[in-house]
């Protein structure tokens, strides 16, 4: 485990409690105390550098949960070492940098990298996708996505809201639709100051239009919703707690605080599936190419927010490895 | 209108606003100021006695919303005058007294009385009944009914909870099922003091068992729910507001305060249907017999609460008028 | 009543059953049989021309539910006759024509016209508006509106979808927010053939962005939803039936078929409020100006669908009568 | 693992996929092919008798998922061997037999047995319990429990419905309320043939009344619900799928088919917690005493179904080990 902050520490706990096929053997964090606090409960070693961890003979596979700007280099080091690696999103800070990772993996000739788009493992999103593939909703015309946080933490500037938060929608949408994003426009009702919320309109190759609202200071809680509108009907993802209360004139269910609790099942299934596959020497999860595409679409989104225009997503050639 | 308290005044407003086939021409209330306050906005006369109102040539039909103990006598006066009458529930204070009304109507040879069991006109209950009659739920086995008030107003003693509040369930159940109640048992978790909530178990001739919880100090609001469980599936009545809010960590809808707001549509449709039929010289609503039966079942319920035993409902013969 | 098709006939029934302050005394329809079928059950006269109806001494106020292209002229005739008039939306076929009506009313010096934007009387929309005015949701940032029909009836071409269906949103949004629409952009995922669904993005003077999806061939039923997203929380309008069923592996509620059933309460309250006010010689409902503005915004929307660009809404001066 | 039928095989899969602290090392089933099919994917040994498995030095702890009548003897063998054991419910076929297990464990002087009442680990039930302990609902007065299966499998006779299905409620209720059941009455609307559904009324020492409907041929699906009614408000457990669809006039969510899917999380957390604790040489889950009590209450329920009377639950003394 490289990076033992909130995300990394949570992954360590999840693996220790729920993933029989993996064991956290070594932890590195820039802050040694942080590394020690996370490693100690699971009996993992604390190592003194990311390189040492990656090269260790006792490490079969690597998880990267360090700061975003370190992702691409660390992934390349893992690829160089021939090790399976799960890298938290985003894969890189720019699309170019992400494409460098793609090229590095292509040189190696086999897929070793999985990008941490955990929503693909969320039972709700998986079930939503099934309503498309099994024909329930008919031919998809429109998707409405909503992504709200109680208050901004990492996504604290205009571009960061896209590359840090909206990037989940930018990966989820093409996966859900088995389609590609060709154009994006991002606007905000806020003209001065932090442009939050932002509204994206997205077009796909297959002729679907998507609206995606991302609001990182929504105050009331964490909320992720999605409605797929097709020619036969619609399907809506709206997770609710199993227990409702009727107290003081309100019939209500609690809204979760944060994405870690909300997507706890998704993280568990992601880590478990990745570990099982890594043991078997393969990965079928979100690829380096998917990570690059998400970065490229996000960059088009950032450009759109500045230009006010609909921006075309331009991609480099897709290597055969990701056909 | 005889009785211009909360219920009577609300009926006057409803007729004035929403019932074209009726006009409130005369109002009587024991308290003249109360009568005047209700009559004035709709231009009705205030009369000095109930008898005068009933006998007035300008009054075609009468609504009784005076205190429960006055109901039976007032209804008999209306029957004697040959006028259509809508009497708020309960029809009488005892089953014997209610049966006296039945006998008086039978003597007259035609149905003039409707008892104010407004739930039979509630769009929700009507829709619930349809799931039974159209076969959706299959053969009914069990019904679960819930009836809660924020705090007790009229139902302030053990028997009053049954005769004042639960009596709605005692009429609704046989109407819903097109069946008859044969036995009832009423119990309470509260042993000392006001026995609230109360739990009734009810058996019908057709072999259905019913649980009915009535709780008149439920604190959180007014709530009426009902689930019908059949051999093919279930149907549940659970009215909800159209607008929900997500604020401060709760995704909720408001619970209504009282039965007047909750059943506003039911009262409007009841009054409108009754007035249309009264104009045509007939009534198809809850009959004197239905009112008597509800009183008789309520009495068995009161006896059961005291005895702790399941009590059989014994009814006098049903006159041919109510066949 | 001028026009006795589906809408007009429904209004006649509603007035007859639920509006004590009005009586339908005369009906005109281009098709005399249609007029007769609607007039007969309520004892209204069938007249031989709209002009005759408008000028009749026994007609106090007029409702116009004839084809859209006849609206403006008929309203002007009512204004000329000094009679209160409720005209179904849209007020006119073009914004210019609607502005002609505004000018005609201004000449008369008092408001006589109400436009039939019935949603302003819908209990759900009224309750949604309250969550804004009472501060529940905080400062509004975004609104998401959805408007779906099972299959297209009147809205059968690209522009008609905007002027016939979306026009409801174009009136509802500024009313809900107490704000004005300044810009609109309308797009569709469908490039060839009937451009349905359409997605509008709307900007208001007060800095709110709105997405509005209108889909008139949504197959599954009639559905109108709206979510208001503010700085403190959100409020969502999502009308549901009171009765749900659990049968054959599905826990579900029925979706209504059409807007007449869906907005039955709204139409009843609209007609009742309008009749009460008309009797008192005034109107506080949607004005000629509101009707003109909706037409003007719709025209900008039609232009946008063709141009692909965000279009500015340009309005003539607002007369003092509508201040 | 003793018993590799549906339940045992599912436990093996769950441990293998989600419980890092345990490994299934040996499997026994009366049917060797069944044992082999379950053992093979996880590399476990198939052993030729339950005794051999229990006594094996390579087995640290035992799970019993064999037929109900074998439970008590197998548990006693585990206790004799000094091994932690998780036994599927019911602990025994009769309360006397269950008490024999209690006595055997008391002789050993420490708790080794956990009974498989998995609902105590269900996130929904845990959350429901929290609304009681944190004061949300106030002082509890009434609980309404519902437990339905699409069609009967194991619970195919009158008593079996209580000892096989309702036993879950009989354990859940006292755990939820931190209270004891003193009386039970079980009735059914069905007089001839298989008495399904059954309605239990339950009284607790703390003065709460409970209604519990168990219906094992409910046709539409598997459904477990629970409402806690207190002096301040209510809390309801009603698990729903995250994805709803609107198709063909119905807005619905799927109802799950069976308890294995419904309680998948509960089983995973139960097994994981038990394994962690077993490794540490202790257990805090449902005890032998809890298993005995559930059997005793179930016997009182069976007696009540026959007698038609409210039956008192009589318990032997509670050993200090379970204080």
Helix H, strand E, coil C: the string for D272-303 is: HHHHHHHHCCCCCCCCHHHHHHHHHHHHHHHH
pLDDT reported for residue B306: 96
Measured between beta carbons, the chain C residues lying within 8 angstroms of D250 are 220, 250, 252-255
Position B156 pLDDT exceeds 80 = no
Q: Let me know: does D304 contact D181? Beta carbons within 8 Å.
A: no
B320: contact with D, CB 8 A cutoff: no
Cβ-defined contact of B255 to A240 (cutoff 8 Å): no
Judge if A125 and A85 occupy the same domain.
Answer: no
D306: contact with B, CB 8 A cutoff: no
**End-to-end CA gap in chain B:** 30
Full-model pTM: 0.96
Judge if C69 and C129 occupy the same domain.
Answer: no
Cβ-defined contact of B244 to C238 (cutoff 8 Å): yes
Cβ-defined contact of A220 to C231 (cutoff 8 Å): no
For the record, the structure tokens of D71 come out as 């439970």
pLDDT reported for residue D186: 98
Mean pLDDT of D156-172: 94
CB-closest option in B247, B255, B257 to A251: B255
C1 in any annotated domain: no
A194: contact with C, CB 8 A cutoff: no
* Among the listed residues A238, C196, C223, the one whose alpha carbon sits nearest the alpha carbon of residue D249: C223
- How far is residue A294 from each of residues A166, A213, A283, measured CA to CA in Å? 10, 17, 19
pLDDT reported for residue B154: 60
Measured between beta carbons, the chain C residues lying within 8 angstroms of D251 are 240, 252-255
Shortest CA gap A185–chain C (Å): 12
B255: contact with C, CB 8 A cutoff: no
What confidence category does residue D227 fall into, taking pLDDT thresholds of 50, 70 and 90?
Answer: very high
Judge if D39 and D167 occupy the same domain.
Answer: no
Cβ-defined contact of C190 to A207 (cutoff 8 Å): yes
C261: contact with B, CB 8 A cutoff: no
Judge if C160 and C302 occupy the same domain.
Answer: yes
For the record, the structure tokens of A221 come out as 């809680």
Measured between beta carbons, the chain A residues lying within 8 angstroms of B223 are 246
B236 in any annotated domain: yes
Task: Return the residue of A nearest to B253 by Cα.
Answer: A251
Residues 6+ apart with CB under 8 A from B88: B3, B7, B63, B64, B65, B71, B115, B116
Q: Let me know: does D254 contact C249? Beta carbons within 8 Å.
A: yes
**Number of residues assigned to chain A:** 323
Judge if D144 and D243 occupy the same domain.
Answer: yes
β-bridge mates for residue B62, sequence order: B85
Q: Let me know: does B46 contact B35? Beta carbons within 8 Å.
A: yes
| Alpha carbon distance A188, C57 (integer Å) | 56
Judge if A180 and A251 occupy the same domain.
Answer: yes
What are the tens digits of pLDDT across the range D246-305?
999 999 999 988 888 889 999 999 999 999 999 999 999 999 999 999 999 999 999 999
What are the tens digits of pLDDT across the range D39-53?
999 999 999 999 999
pLDDT reported for residue C261: 85
- How far is residue A303 from each of residues A210, A212, A307, measured CA to CA in Å? 18, 16, 6
Judge if D282 and D295 occupy the same domain.
Answer: no
Task: Return the residue of A nearest to C208 by Cα.
Answer: A189
CB-closest option in D19, D233, D248 to A248: D233
Measured between beta carbons, the chain D residues lying within 8 angstroms of A272 are 17-18
Task: Return the residue of B nearest to C22 by Cα.
Answer: B20
Task: Determine the longest span between alpha carbons in chain C, in angstroms.
Answer: 64
* Among the listed residues B177, B181, B180, the one whose alpha carbon sits nearest the alpha carbon of residue B131: B177
- How far is residue C9 from each of residues B9, C15, C16, C34, C117, measured CA to CA in Å? 33, 10, 11, 9, 18
A44 in any annotated domain: yes
| Alpha carbon distance D164, D158 (integer Å) | 10
pLDDT reported for residue D101: 98
B307 in any annotated domain: no
- If DSSP codes are grouped into helix, strand and coil, which group holds residue C204? strand
D19: contact with A, CB 8 A cutoff: yes
What are the tens digits of pLDDT across the range B95-118?
999 999 999 999 999 999 999 999
D1 in any annotated domain: no
ipTM exceeding cut-off 0.90 for this assembly: yes
For chain B, what is the mean pLDDT? 96
Task: Return the residue of B nearest to D202 by Cα.
Answer: B189
Cβ-defined contact of A187 to C209 (cutoff 8 Å): yes
Q: What are phi and psi of B4, to 5 degrees?
A: -125, 35
Shortest CA gap B206–chain D (Å): 9
For chain C, what is the mean pLDDT? 96
Cβ-defined contact of D127 to A239 (cutoff 8 Å): no
Q: Let me know: does D37 contact D27? Beta carbons within 8 Å.
A: no
Measured between beta carbons, the chain D residues lying within 8 angstroms of A238 are 242, 244
Check residue A5 and report its DSSP letter.
Answer: S
| Alpha carbon distance A291, A96 (integer Å) | 11
Position D24 pLDDT exceeds 80 = yes
Measured between beta carbons, the chain C residues lying within 8 angstroms of A201 are 187, 199, 201
pLDDT reported for residue D261: 85
Give the Cβ contact number of residue A189 at 10 Å.
21
Position B87 pLDDT exceeds 80 = yes
A95 in any annotated domain: no
Judge if D191 and D278 occupy the same domain.
Answer: no
Residue A86 belongs to what H/E stretch? strand A84-87
Residues 6+ apart with CB under 8 A from C17: B20, B272
pLDDT reported for residue C258: 85
The counts of H helices and E strands in chain A are 11, 14
Low-confidence residues of chain A, pLDDT below 70? 154-155
Position D59 pLDDT exceeds 90 = yes
Mean pLDDT of D51-72: 97
B188: contact with D, CB 8 A cutoff: yes
Q: The domain spanning residue A225 has which CATH number?
A: 3.30.360.10
Could you list the mean pLDDT of each consecutive 10-residue stretch along chain C, which spans 323 residues? 97 97 97 98 97 97 97 98 97 97 97 98 97 97 97 82 96 98 98 95 98 97 97 93 93 89 94 97 97 98 97 97 95
Measured between beta carbons, the chain A residues lying within 8 angstroms of C197 are 141-142, 229
What confidence category does residue D155 fall into, taking pLDDT thresholds of 50, 70 and 90?
Answer: low
Q: For residues D78, D79, D82 and D85, what is the CA-based torsion angle, rounded to 10 degrees?
A: 60
Chains in touch with B (3+ beta-carbon pairs under 8 Å) read A, C, D
Position D239 pLDDT exceeds 90 = no
pLDDT reported for residue A260: 85
Q: Let me know: does B175 contact B129? Beta carbons within 8 Å.
A: yes
Q: The domain spanning residue A49 has which CATH number?
A: 3.40.50.720
| Alpha carbon distance D85, D73 (integer Å) | 12
pLDDT reported for residue C154: 60
Measured between beta carbons, the chain C residues lying within 8 angstroms of D248 are 219-220
Scanning A203-232 for CB atoms below 8 A from B yields 219-221, 223
Residues 6+ apart with CB under 8 A from A101: A72, A75, A76, A79, A91, A92, A113, A288, A291, A292
B134: contact with C, CB 8 A cutoff: no
- How far is residue D120 from each of residues C150, D137, D184, measured CA to CA in Å? 45, 19, 21
Judge if C125 and C239 occupy the same domain.
Answer: yes
Measured between beta carbons, the chain A residues lying within 8 angstroms of B246 are 220-221, 223, 255
| Alpha carbon distance B117, A184 (integer Å) | 59
Domain count, chain C: 2
Position B155 pLDDT exceeds 80 = no
Q: What are phi and psi of B102, to 5 degrees?
A: -55, -50
Judge if D246 and D153 occupy the same domain.
Answer: yes
Judge if A136 and A229 occupy the same domain.
Answer: yes
Share of chain C above pLDDT 90, in %: 94
CB-closest option in D16, D238, D247 to A136: D247
C243: contact with D, CB 8 A cutoff: no
pLDDT reported for residue C220: 96
CB-closest option in C237, C244, C247 to B243: C237
Interior CA angle at C269 toward C266 and C275, to 5°? Answer: 135
B316 in any annotated domain: no
Cβ-defined contact of B241 to C127 (cutoff 8 Å): yes
Shortest CA gap B202–chain D (Å): 10
Chosen domain end from A89, A108, A134: A89
C240: contact with B, CB 8 A cutoff: yes
Measured between beta carbons, the chain B residues lying within 8 angstroms of A223 are 246
D320 in any annotated domain: no
Cβ-defined contact of D257 to C240 (cutoff 8 Å): no
Judge if D154 and D131 occupy the same domain.
Answer: yes
Residue D306 domain boundaries: 120-262+290-312
What are the tens digits of pLDDT across the range B227-254?
999 999 999 998 888 999 999 999 999 9
CB-closest option in A246, A252, A257 to B251: A252
Task: Return the residue of A nearest to D122 by Cα.
Answer: A242
């Amino acid at each position: 485990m490289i990076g033992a902050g909130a995300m990394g520490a949570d992954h360590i706990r999840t693996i220790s409690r729920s993933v029989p096929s993996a064991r956290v053997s070594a932890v590195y964090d820039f802050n040694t105390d942080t590394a020690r606090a996370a490693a100690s409960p699971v009996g993992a070693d604390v190592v003194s550098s990311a390189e040492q961890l990656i090269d260790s003979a006792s490490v079969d596979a690597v998880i990267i949960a360090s700061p975003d700007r370190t992702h691409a280099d660390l992934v390349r080091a893992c690829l160089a070492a021939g090790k399976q690696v799960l890298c938290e999103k985003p894969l890189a800070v720019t699309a170019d940098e992400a494409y460098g990772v793609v090229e590095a993996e292509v040189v190696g000739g086999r897929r070793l990298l999985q990008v941490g788009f955990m929503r693909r493992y969320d039972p709700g999103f998986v079930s939503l996708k099934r309503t498309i593939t099994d024909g329930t909703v008919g031919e998809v015309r429109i998707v409405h996505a909503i992504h709200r946080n109680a208050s901004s933490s990492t996504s604290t500037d205009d571009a960061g809201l896209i590359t840090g938060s909206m990037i989940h929608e930018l990966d989820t949408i093409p996966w859900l639709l088995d389609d590609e994003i060709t154009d994006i426009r991002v606007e905000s009702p806020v003209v001065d100051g932090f442009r939050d919320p932002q509204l994206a309109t997205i077009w796909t190759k297959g002729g679907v239009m998507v609206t995606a609202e991302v609001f990182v200071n929504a105050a009331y809680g964490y909320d992720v919703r999605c409605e797929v509108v097709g020619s036969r009907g619609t399907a809506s993802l709206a997770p609710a707690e199993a227990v409702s209360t009727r107290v003081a004139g309100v019939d209500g269910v609690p809204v979760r605080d944060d994405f870690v609790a909300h997507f706890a099942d998704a993280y568990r299934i992601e880590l478990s599936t990745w570990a099982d596959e890594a043991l078997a020497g393969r990965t079928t999860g979100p690829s380096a190419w998917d990570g690059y595409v998400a970065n490229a679409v996000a960059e088009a989104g950032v450009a759109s927010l500045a230009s006010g225009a609909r921006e075309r997503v331009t991609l480099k050639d897709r290597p055969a490895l990701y056909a």
